[in-house]
Structure 1
Amino acid sequence: MSNRKQLHPERSPREKFGLLVRTLRDERGWTQEELAERVGCTGSHISAVETGRRAATQQFARKLDRVFGTGARLEQQIQAARYTALLEGFPEYVAREAHAAEIRLYEVGVIPGLLQTPQYAAAIEDQEVKRGAITPEQAHERVALVESRQAALVRTPPPLVFVILDESCLLRPVGGRSVMGVQLARLLEFADNPHTALHVAPFSMAERRPYTLPITILTLPDRGLMAYAQSSQHGHFERESAAVVPMLAAYHQLHVGALSQDASVDMIDQIRKGTT
C-alpha cells in the first residue's frame, strides 16, 4: 500500500474520477483485479483509470456504477468533467443538438464547432491554455467534444444543417496558413452535402445584420424550437418556443441578406487559394 501513487483530485478531472473509483473500491475491500473481473476489463485498465493515466468513458463509468451500486454517480462525474470549461447552458444544448431535426447557426469570428477540423479546434484551445483560461485537460475535453458533436450528426435520417458565417470567420487565420487551408476545404465539403446549406454574411451587410453575437436555433423532432446564444463569458439556452420565434424570424432576415451558396462557396474558395 505504501507504493500507491498519490492522487491530486484538484489537478485534473481524471485524477478526481480516479480517486473516487479507488475510494469506492477500498470501501468494499476489493483489489484492482477483483474489480476488473466484476466490470469485465483488466486490472491494468483499472489501475490506469485510478491513477488518471487513462480517461474513463461514459460507458465504463456506467459499468462501475452498476458494480458499485452507486446509481449514476460515476457517470454524472464523467459528464461534469467533460463540461468543466463550458459556459452555462451549453451542456444541455449539446444534448438537444444530438437529436435535433434542423440546426440553424450563425457564427462570428471563428468557424463553429460543428464544422471545425481537429487541427483548427486544437489551435483555438491551445491558445486558451496559454492564456491560463483553461487547463490542458479541459482543452483536450473541448476538442473531444467537437468531434463527438460532429459524430452525432451522422445518423439516419440526418438533420438539416443551415450555417451562416460572418465574413470574419473566414479571414481570421487560426492556426496559420496550413491549418486554415484545410479548414476552408472542410467548409467546401460541407456545402456540397445534400442536407446542408452554407452562406456568408459579408461585411457589406453592415448594420443590416440582425445579430451581433453567435446564435444557434434548434428544431426538435416534435417541431419545438430551442435556441442557444453566448458571449465570451456567458451562455443562455432558451427552452420556450414562443421566445425563439422572433430569433428565427431574424435568422431568416439574415439569410435573405447573406450571399447565395454559390457566391459563398466562391468566396471561400478564393480565400482558400490564398492560404496555399
Structure 2
Amino acid sequence: MREGRGWTQDSLAERMGYSSVHISAVETGRKPSTLRFSRSADRAFGLEGKADTFESEFREVRHGSLLEGFPEYVAHEGRAIEVRLYEVGVIPGLLQTVEYAATLEADAVRREMTTAEQAQERVALVPRRQAALVRNPSPLLHAVLDESCVRRPMGDAAVMDDQLARLLKFAEMPNTVLQVAPFSMGARRPFSLPVTVLTMADRSIMSYAESAQRGHLERDSASVTLILKAYHQLQAEALSQAASTAMIEELRKGFQ
C-alpha cells in the first residue's frame, strides 16, 4: 500500500510517528505489528472507519485460528538453515501427515476449542510449512521426540501407520536427524515442554516456545545459547537414530 502511493519508508514513518527502521522491520516481518502501530497505519492511509483496516488485520492475527506469535515464528522457520525441535505428546507439525493433523484438529472442534473453519486453516498450514523447508540448499532438521509422541494413538490404525511411516521416511533424508527421548531418561530430560531452536543464515540463533495463550520467540543470544546447550545434552541422552527408527518400526507393526 505504501509503494502504491509512492511513499518511501521515511515518509510513511513521519506520517505514523515511527522510525523508518521500525517501518522496515514490520514490512519484512522482523518485528510484529502492534495495536498502536496498526491504528497509526490506518490514520496514515485514511482507513479509519472502513471495513478493511490494519487494525482488523491485527485483531484477526491476534485472535484468529493461529496462536499469537506463531505466524512470526513460521516466517523465521522458513528461512532458517538449521531447525532443532523437541516435542512432547504429539508429532510436531513439520513431521505430521495431513491426516494426523486433521485428527488433532477434529478433536479440538469436538471440544469446542476451535471452529471448523479455524481447524481447516491449521491443517492447510501443515503442508505449506513443510514445503517451505524443501529448498536448495536444504536446512538441517534435528527432531527429538518424547516417547509419548510415537506411542500415543491418534486417529485410527491407518492414520497412525501412515504417520509412523512418515517419520521413518523423514529419518532417511540426507539433511535430517530423528531421535526418540525414551521414558527411561527420567530426570536426565532437560526439557519438560516443547522447544525449537532456529539457526539463521547469519548464524544468529533464536528459540520458540508456547504457552496456552501465545508463542514466544526469544532472540537474546545468551538465553538461547543456554537452551541450545540443553538441547545438545538432550540429543546425547536420547536414543540414536538407528535405535529410534527400530522402536518406531516395532510400534508400527501394531497398526498394520
TM-score surpassing 0.5?
A: yes
Closer/same/farther in 2, CA of residues 178 and 207 from structure 1, 3 Å limit: same
Structure 2: 5+ residue runs without aligned partners? Answer: 1-45
- Residues 83 and 91 in structure 1, CA contact (< 8 A), matched pair in contact too: no
Aligned to 2:130: 150
| Max Rg structure | 1
For residue 200 of structure 1, the aligned residue among 180, 183, 198 is 180
Rounded to whole Å, the distance in 2 between the matches of 1:79 and 1:269 is: 45
Q: Is the CA contact 2:61–2:68 (under 8 Å) kept in the aligned structure 1?
A: no
Does residue 249 of structure 1 match 2:229?
A: yes
Q: 1:118 maps to which residue?
A: 98
Secondary structure, aligned partner of 2:246:
helix
- The share of aligned pairs that are identical, in percent, is 59
**Correspondent of 1:104 among 75, 84, 105:** 84
The answer (yes or no) to whether the contact 1:118–1:143 under 8 Å persists in 2 is: yes
Match of 1:179 among 159, 164, 167: 159
TM-score (norm 1): 0.71
The answer to whether residue 253 in structure 2 is matched with residue 262 in structure 1 is no
1:166 aligned partner: 146
Q: In the alignment, is residue 136 of structure 1 matched against residue 116 of structure 2? A: yes
Task: State the Cα deviation string for residues 55-75 of structure 1 (Å, max 9, x = none).
Answer: xxxxxxxxxxxxxx98x958x
Amino acid at match of 2:238: A
- Do 1:82 and 1:142's aligned partners in 2 also have CA atoms closer than 8 Å? no
Q: Is the 8 A contact 2:62 2:68 kept in 1?
A: no
Paired with 2:109 and 2:184, the residues of 1 have a C-alpha distance of: 35
* Cα shift at 1:243: 1.4
1:219 aligns with 2:233: no
Contact 2:81 2:140 in 1 (8 A): yes
2:66 aligns with 86
Q: 1:146 to 1:82 in 2, by over 3 A?
A: farther
Distance 1:177 1:263, change over 3 A: same
Residues 79, 144 of structure 1: alpha-carbon distance in 2 compared, 3 angstrom cutoff = farther
Aligned residues between the structures: 207
- Give the Cα separation in 2 of the matches to 1:258 and 1:80: 40
Moved beyond 4 Å, runs of 4+: 78-83
Provide the residue aligned with 1:272 in structure 2.
252
Structure 1 unaligned residues grouped into runs of 5+: 1-68
- Say whether the 8 Å CA contact 1:110–1:168 is kept in structure 2: yes
Q: 2:38 matched to which residue of 1?
A: none
- Given the superposition, is the C-alpha separation of residues 153 and 243 from structure 1 closer, same or farther in structure 2, using an over 3 Å criterion? same
Structure 2: distance between partners of 1:203 and 1:175:
23
Residues 209 and 152 of structure 1: CA distance in aligned 2, closer, same or farther (over 3 Å): same
